[in-house]
Structure 1
Amino acid sequence: MDLQKLIEKLDRKQTTTILSSAILTVAATWFILKRRNKKIESVGIKEIPTPEGEYFYFGHLPLLISNPSAQITEWHRKLGPIFRIKMGVQNWMFISHPVLAHDIFVTRGTSTSGRPYVTFGNGVHGEGNRGIVFADYGKSWKNTRTAILNILSPKSVDTLQPILERETALGVKLMMQQGEISPLSYTRLMGLNVAIATIFGLHGAQSTTDPIYREVIGNMENTHEFVGATRDIQSFFPAFAFVDFLLKSKKKMVDFVNDQSRPLYRRLIKMARENKQPCLINKLDEIKESLGIDEQNILVLTNELVVASVDTISLAMAWTMALLCRYPEHQKKVIEDLDMFVQLQNRLPLFEDRHQLPYLVAFIKESLRYRSSAHIGLPHKVTEDIVYGDYVIPKDTILFNNGHSSNHDPDFFTDPHLFQPERYLNDTRSIYASSNSSIQQRELFSFGWGRRICPGIYLAENELFNLLVRLLSQCTVEPILVNGKKVYPDLDTFVDGGGTVSPTDYKIRLVPKV
């Protein structure tokens, strides 16, 4: 229901009163913000560039409705590596150049690692500053972060290697049974099964019609909807908070969490503890008391781990398979790498063998750089005024890294518009290792920055490694044939999901190797 239809349902007198109050609030807010901006300019600080077209009170939000990632990248092209926009009453700033991003998110991380308040994420789902995705920077978040880094460390993930191999093998088997497939549904199934197996030690779904698949994926989709800006109007436009009140937005969030989300994850956690198989829940139980992590926090954390795992890895897999199909010359080199290892060792390689498969590793890294599953990183919040060069970044500014632009920066990558796995051939370090290195030694910028960098990098690259090994040891990825002509996946268009970027639906053929 849009605002106009809502207003039409109110009686005339009530509408006049509400709109009058809203207009006065809007005007007062606008005046205060303008005064603050002028005060900043008066001390001789250079103004951060901002794009044209700002709307009164609504700011630049109307310009980001159709294709936000593309619009933000275009603004970077026009305005440079740093610019600011208004999103209602919120100040947003985007940073693209890797050196700037490192300086702001890493070097000044104590002041730029906060999170903005989101009604669903902070007020309902993660109430009490629980979890890791939405929780603000502080002691509770640090303890939770320590726990997550512990259970997702390379040493911990390596103990789950048999589970990763088993679930990836199942996913590849299901895909090969069909021959010609649309990979997106299969990669999501594979991502879910890996998450269920590694987090809870449970077997996942055999198909997208299985009840566990429908329940968990349905829960994820509802979570995405509640996190969206349309369900949190008051955070952007306080003058229109009455819309959230009339639509009972928060009540719907509370009902969803209490009636659907928490019961689902309580059940999965209970099954994990009874099953006693190696999994992340068991590892978390071993350290929870020392870090002050209560049962409610475990509920929130497992929910966030599942959503993050399925979203990012399933899309990364889908992009990787599209690239295998689109660039057969590179696929051939990956297969040669793999076949040589199998001939010498008489077995399939493990992730710990990656140093002996330089082209396969390089292909994974270039896939994540060239077509990342997220263009714009999760928001950081500035917790105190900071001065960076000629700019002042005020407290409560919301910061974003344009990862797509960072991964295509010509200062860091030669011919960044080209897909060239060879650029990584001389470095078989894990992405996890390079992401925690100095800015000069980082290989790509798809997993975030500083204290808020993705804690699941090692698990993600392990999953992609297992996918390529099990897929390309059995088949080649070929384009479909339409009237005898090859039709390749479209790499230049995508579906912008706000937090993630998905390839448009495509089909491929999996041709068994002779």
Structure 2
Amino acid sequence: MNKVEQGKALAPIIAGTTVALYISYKILHSLLHSKNKFSKEIPAPGPAYPYVGHLFSLGNMPAETVSQWHKELGPIIQLRMGVQTWVSIDSPALAHKVMVTNGSKASHRNENEFGYSLYSFGGKGVVHSQPNAAWKKVRAAVAAAIAPSQIELHMASIQDEAKKLVDALLETSEKTNVGIFPFKDLQLYIMNTVALIGFGRTFPAKDDPTFIDVSSTIDEGFKLSGVECDMANYLPIFTIHNYLTGIRKVLIKYLAERRDPVFGSLIKEAYHADGPNLVKYLKENGYDLSEEETLVIFSDLTGAGTDTNSVYLCWTIAIMCNYPEAQKRIAAEIDNFVERHGRLPLFSERLELPFCISAMKECMRYKPITAFGIPHLANEDIVVDGYIIPKGATIISNMVSMHKNPEFYPDRPEEFVPERFINALGTSVAASKGKVEDRDHFNFGWGRRICPAIHMAEVETFVGFVELMSRCFIEPGEDGMPNINKAENGGIVVSPIPYKVKFTKRKN
């Protein structure tokens, strides 16, 4: 058979195949069109620009800008961040459906340059890793290492650190009439509790060289995690800019000369420290973790654990100063416990301080410590409430407006109401495992990616706060009452603007 005859023989087959493909295409197109026809479009705010989208419309306080967009457009909005699509949610019920009910589709992370590729050695550890078998192994190890039974081993030392914190605040406050900004003292207290549990050691004072080295390394790492150093992830054209300006070399140098040696040294010392610590626990209990995994775990634990809880206590002190009547009720409740037991309450006895616990929860709700939490990534299309969140979209919880959501917090959501949780005094660990309506706040995240160190955070903040309120009354400094209506963008965290307060010794 010659080529002409072969062509004539194949013609009907080709024609039939073409028709079949065309019909299949029309059917598929019709189905997709029908699907989209009955889905709701996720609204997008107006100020978007070609190529960059909303990237440069967020302003200095992105959480506040996005909160305003939510007020105008509803509980779910879509942002164009350069080449990326971001979906922001401020409804707790909707966020639960997306990140818990659809957890298998919404638990991935963006594979960005600094956090994923460099900082976590290609996704090792807990925070930046993808939800795979390696992640499950590491998360299980961390959860076991900071379980309540392990934290209990350090309880007396945590109480001692809290006493040192209040001693320092009172002593410094007595030396000046203008008031003090307590953040560094709070940071030292929180870092000491984290370092005590993690490495079996503490730092003696704010001016201790090792404390300064560790805290500045953490601060530098948070700054390098910002959008400015990762622009190529949003706008690929910046790849050339990053090459010319040497940003990648800066990131690599930070890790090689700062992060790795600082935390490597702490980990090495912890193996030989007296008493229990997490480094030894992981080794002695047969957790097969590489050197890189261990380094990432402990730099994450120290950095994230120190900054978030220091910021929380800093907000709480500013709020207490603004609400002296709440201070008095908390102090009276603690005094009553001391009269009955002859000592301060343990964390296990927290339910005997209902107003105190309710007020602490309300501080966390009233002034959330993070802007958007740590973003999730959709690895499949997610269909929820008629919306389609596309595969590859970054999913964020807008913490500011979420914690003021009137449907979830119907009683004066914009106000500080310290009694708000008086009938919901369970721990945040317990609340996070139940129904969404039983949760008090959402700062610790969602679903499979929820913070594994919630119990440790609650213990150290409870012990520090009770020690403080049992001995001090917080009054405004020379600049007047702390301004709790404004905040500073600290990258991952949202911090109060610096203020000055006086810590005066209470007469029990």
Cα offset for 1:171?
1.3
Aligned residue for 2:51, secondary structure, equals coil
| 2:457 alignment counterpart | 460
Matched, 1:489 2:466: no
| 1:417 alignment counterpart | 414
8 A contact 2:372–2:399 mirrored in 1: yes
Cα offset for 1:68?
0.6
Cα offset for 1:449?
0.7
Q: Distance in 2 between matches of 1:477 and 1:67?
A: 28
| 1:31 alignment counterpart | none
Q: How many residues align?
A: 470
Shift of the 512–390 alpha-carbon distance from structure 1 to 2, 3 Å rule, reads same
Matched, 1:381 2:377: yes
Matched, 1:506 2:499: yes
Q: Distance in 2 between matches of 1:193 and 1:395?
A: 41
- For residues 285-364 of structure 1, the aligned pairs below 5 Å read 285-287=283-285, 289=287, 292-364=288-360
Shift of the 138–303 alpha-carbon distance from structure 1 to 2, 3 Å rule, reads same
Seq. identity, %? 33
| 1:28 alignment counterpart | none
Cα offset for 1:353?
1.0
78, 81, 87: which one pairs with 2:81?
A: 87
| 1:33 alignment counterpart | none
Runs ≥4 in structure 1, deviation > 4 angstroms? 39-42
8 A contact 1:84–1:94 mirrored in 2: yes
Q: Distance in 1 between matches of 2:210 and 2:384?
A: 49
Aligned residue for 1:411, secondary structure, equals coil
Relative contact order (C-alpha < 8 Å, sep 6+): which is higher?
A: 2
**Structure of greater Rg:** 2
Q: Distance in 2 between matches of 1:43 and 1:430?
A: 42
| 2:434 alignment counterpart | 437
Q: Which moved more, 1:220-229 or 1:354-363?
A: 220-229
1:421-450 CA distance string (max 9 Å, x none): 212112321121112211121122221110
Matched, 1:70 2:64: yes
Q: Distance in 2 between matches of 1:206 and 1:394?
A: 50
* Letter of the 1:285 counterpart: K
Query: Which stretches in structure 1 are left out of the alignment for 5+ residues?
Result: 1-35
Q: Distance in 2 between matches of 1:288 and 1:96?
A: 42
Cα offset for 1:42?
8.0
8 A contact 1:288–1:294 mirrored in 2: no
**What root-mean-square deviation, in Å, do the aligned CA atoms of Structure 1 and Structure 2 show?**
1.7
Q: Distance in 2 between matches of 1:417 and 1:169?
A: 34
| 1:186 alignment counterpart | 185
8 A contact 1:41–1:47 mirrored in 2: no
Aligned residue for 1:137, secondary structure, equals coil
Q: Distance in 1 between matches of 2:393 and 2:408?
A: 27
- For residues 51-450 of structure 1, the aligned pairs below 5 Å read 51-179=45-173, 180-207=179-206, 209-287=207-285, 289=287, 292-413=288-409, 414-450=411-447
1:430-475 CA distance string (max 9 Å, x none): 1211122111211222211101111111111111211122112212
* Letter of the 2:475 counterpart: E
Question: TM-score, normalization: structure 1?
Answer: 0.88
| 2:3 alignment counterpart | none
1:306-336 CA distance string (max 9 Å, x none): 1101110000010111111110111111001
* Letter of the 2:368 counterpart: S
Aligned residue for 1:129, secondary structure, equals coil
Q: Distance in 2 between matches of 1:235 and 1:445?
A: 27
Question: TM-score, normalization: structure 2?
Answer: 0.89
1:321-366 CA distance string (max 9 Å, x none): 1111110111111001100000000111111110111111111111
Query: Which stretches in structure 2 are left out of the alignment for 5+ residues?
Result: 1-28, 174-178
Q: Distance in 2 between matches of 1:178 and 1:40?
A: 68
* Letter of the 1:216 counterpart: V
1:99-151 CA distance string (max 9 Å, x none): 00100000000000000012111111211321111112211111111112222
